[in-house]
Structure 1
């Protein structure tokens, strides 16, 4: 299907889902009270049981959508194990949603180092101190570990932990959802077989 007759609300849809996403994210930045880049990230564990949590999108371009985590965390282990994930953005102020599914890849060391260096100092210390998703006997233990890392790295030069990096979700599907009256919503789905392939797009029943 061509995009000649496709629109989301009163706005026409172009051929590039990343451009469409960028426009919506920018508009959400002007209307959402907190974290317009927040998303629900879904993965599956080794048994196939789904898991979901909120994370923050830190970058995106035509290659995909990037977020960061401790690779020893539940989501880190699950995504490394399956190589797949899904995302859902919901912007209540605009009554919009974007759903994304695809494969995952680890970002380059240069990308991870670059983002890590922009984090607040206490966040960088926390990346060293937290055994993310593991049982914690007492919160005081975490505070003590942060203090120990603080003493080890008293300046601003705090290296990135080897097990802390980013994932890029490389999408095979991106669906844009715009609320409509009487639940007659607009749903436009972009699909492709593999990265680099041309996108096909069409409308879905609400």
Structure 2
């Protein structure tokens, strides 16, 4: 098929300035609840963008695990490529692609590492096999074959068969302290609705952007 010829109309609804709350987190939480209720695949999945020391951007899908006024939280191997890049440059972007609702949310900000207590609390809530998986994978490192991972998983599963899985020293999390949030709602005739919240000293400014 000719990709240039593929298109569709966005007709599910609009977004108006008068309906926006003062705080972007209120709208984000409403949209997240609606994404979950619509049974979208992986509604908590977000594209995480970082930049390396050469200025090369990288993106990958990561699951959001918590959000509040303090920020958006996700967890990762601290030896991973994204964690290494964030250690050099804490600026980050998040994108929630809720295609089924013809919506996107784009977040920018900078990260701070979570405390060991915060990480431990979440790690202990994970299924045991997921805890073991965190021990097994040297995330972003080159490996010779999948069998290496599978063999290590079986080895670690036997090791922790009769006890709790300890928190790996190389596993942690980040809180994204957000300073802008953009909401995109698809519209007919490509007249999409876009609103950008930007943090100011005493609250948030809101601007409509051209689609």
**TM-score in same-fold range (> 0.5):** yes
The aligned counterpart of 2:53 is: 46
Tell me by how many angstroms 1:155 deviates: 3.0
Tell me by how many angstroms 1:162 deviates: 1.3
2:193 aligned to which of 162, 182, 186: 186
Name the CA shift for 1:9/1:96 in 2 (closer, same or farther; >3 Å): farther
The aligned counterpart of 1:199 is: 204
Contact 2:119 2:173 (C-alpha < 8 Å) held by counterparts: yes
| Residue 40 of structure 2 is aligned to residue 33 of structure 1 | yes
Gaps of 5+ in 1: 1-6
Name the CA shift for 1:47/1:68 in 2 (closer, same or farther; >3 Å): same
Q: Give, in whole Å, the separation in 2 of the partners of 1:57 and 1:79.
A: 17
1:108 aligned to which of 106, 111, 115: 115
Alignment of 1:1-206 (within 5 A): 8-9=15-16, 12-192=19-199, 197-206=202-211
Tell me by how many angstroms 1:117 deviates: 1.2
Name the CA shift for 1:35/1:142 in 2 (closer, same or farther; >3 Å): same
Tell me by how many angstroms 1:61 deviates: 0.2
Q: 4+ residue stretches of structure 1 with deviation over 4 A?
A: none
Contact 2:94 2:106 (C-alpha < 8 Å) held by counterparts: yes
The aligned counterpart of 1:3 is: none
Contact 1:178 1:185 (C-alpha < 8 Å) held by counterparts: yes
Q: Give, in whole Å, the separation in 1 of the partners of 2:26 and 2:169.
A: 33
Q: Give, in whole Å, the separation in 2 of the partners of 1:96 and 1:11.
A: 18
Tell me by how many angstroms 1:156 deviates: 4.8
Q: Give, in whole Å, the separation in 2 of the partners of 1:11 and 1:147.
A: 56
Name the CA shift for 1:193/1:10 in 2 (closer, same or farther; >3 Å): closer
Tell me by how many angstroms 1:11 deviates: 7.2
Tell me by how many angstroms 1:41 deviates: 0.6
Gaps of 5+ in 2: 1-13
TM (normalized to structure 2)?
Answer: 0.89
Tell me by how many angstroms 1:46 deviates: 1.3
Contact 2:40 2:98 (C-alpha < 8 Å) held by counterparts: no
What's the secondary structure of 2:182's corresponding residue? strand
RMSD: 1.6
What's the secondary structure of 1:46's corresponding residue? coil
Q: Give, in whole Å, the separation in 2 of the partners of 1:52 and 1:193.
A: 28
Instruction: Give the number of aligned pairs.
Output: 198
Tell me by how many angstroms 1:142 deviates: 1.1
